[in-house]
Amino acid sequence: MIPSQAEEEGPTMKLVSWNIQWARGCDGRVSTARIARALNDFGDADVICLQEVARGYDDLPGLTGDDQVAQFAAQFPGHSPIFAPGADSLRPDGTRRQFGNLTLSRLPVLAAWRHLLPWPADGAVPSMQRACVEVVLDGPSGGLRVLNTHLEYYSRLQRLAQIEALRALDAEAQSHAKAPPTAKASGAAFAAVPRPAAALLCGDFNCEPGSDEYMRLVAPGASPEARWQDLWPHCHGTVAHADTVGLHGCEWPGRRFCCDFALATAPLLPRVQAVEVDQSTAASDHQPVWITLAD
């Protein structure tokens, strides 16, 4: 059942999370326009969370220095783009190359934070700096935090450190929600910014259901609110996670599995109507994860 076919009561908010592999499809061709078409064909997303968005790279297959942030902003003109590069380095011509996560929102973005995740040394494997972009959205049902992230692929040590950081980020946000600042200071930089308890965390976590990393990600926190809960079992019970990689003969042709998740804090769970995986598109080596919320 895809979101457009779901039996819904009242208005809804649709979100999608997708590792787009710099818009490189299973045919080896790079096309942000094809990514945009796949998103529009499956559903009309209010919030789009993309991972592996590139700027200024000419050494990734199919890229010639493209600014994919600008391309997606043009393809979704009704959405505000918030980009959080993890990797950010200087090119020989003096311009920059950046690689990270892009959130596009049709809803007003009240605040945005770009978090660099821990990157402990692990010289035995290649790795890169990873990031998480957190936005506060203003919707009919109130404020909502959406966190868009991508954890390290090669290093389990780094993934575990990054998971601890995501747990700490939410514990911090829950504290802000319970005790918002009341002190006054001059200047807009000190203006109180809402950080709602209701939050969605999505992205490519580079671990599978049941792995040590996954179990740590969903482990109870210091309070009932400060816990990331996987929306797949919340919506589907004991049905196994739908595969998000290894389809269409792309990258992992011999094995299909899931490493892309959508999670939420307890205050958001009553609004969750559906979470589904679009397994039809071959526009990336990963499949999009769609979430429908009551709004």
232-274 residue pLDDT tens: 999 999 999 999 999 999 887 779 999 999 999 999 999 999 9
The mean predicted confidence, pLDDT, of the chain is 94
User: What would the mean pLDDT of 51-63 be, rounded to a whole number?
Assistant: 96
pTM, to two decimals: 0.95
Q: What is the mean pLDDT of residues 44-59?
A: 97
> What's residue 221's pLDDT?
83
Q: Do the Cβ atoms of 287 and 244 come closer than 8 Å?
A: yes
What is the structure's pLDDT at 186?
74
Is residue 120 domain-resident?
yes
Cα-Cα end-to-end distance for the chain: 20
The answer to whether position 187 is within a domain reads no
Residue range of the domain that includes 220: 3-178+192-294
84 found inside a domain? yes
pLDDT at 24: 98
The b/e string for 45-67 (b: 16+ C-beta within 10 A; e otherwise) is bbbbbbbbbbbbbeebebbeebe
Q: Quick check: is 186 in a domain?
A: no
| Residue 7 pLDDT greater than 60, yes or no | no
**How many distinct structural domains can be found in the chain?**
1
**pLDDT confidence tier of residue 190, bands split at 50, 70 and 90:** confident
pLDDT the model gives residue 13:
97
